[in-house]
Structure 1
């Protein structure tokens, strides 16, 4: 039985990497077990580990659900020196999405449900009373 998930991205400078991901998630890491490593529980049971090391360019994408993709995109463009990215949609796909890279080449992205009722159901199902934490 699989019940949790972690994914690890490597960054060449842990201090800069931690700052980037603190700003992306708008909070400090949930777990820093030792130097050169930080971890965020993005949603219950799903963790992103950021470790100092040689980045694997082009890894991912790790796509994160947001309630407003344009606002999330603009916040990143305003805050970081990342390349502008396109938001895509297709009639048969229930979300719109966009992909970008962190400063070390790790691929990330956002997605937003088109049906806001479905979006709210997923948020409640996944986060329950913990919505304010994430």
Structure 2
């Protein structure tokens, strides 16, 4: 085989090897970039999921706190309604007691109402 033909074959093999290495490098670079992008996307989705979980937990906590506050409000309202009904009965009883006038009943109503809503009067 003549030397120029051998040189051409070797040169063609070298060029082919160079092209293959270049293609392989690009392919690895692209796959590495794809892997990096996929990892970033997974991290972002994990962060979103964690944030959503925290938000759901906070919402649940707020709902529980709201239900507890509403329960306390209803209990307080129920107690005040009982106090008002007792007050109304006391006033009716006081107003119907023989020998008492209506002015005394009104003053007694105000005193009992204040005690029911603000506690007993403070003495200086």
Answer yes or no: same fold by TM over 0.5. no
Bigger proportion of residues as strand: 1
TM-score normalised by structure 2 residue count: 0.18
When Rg is computed on C-alpha atoms for both structures, the one with the higher figure is 2
TM-score normalised by structure 1 residue count: 0.17
Which one has more relative contact order, counting CA pairs under 8 Å at least 6 apart?
A: 1
Bigger proportion of residues as helix: 2
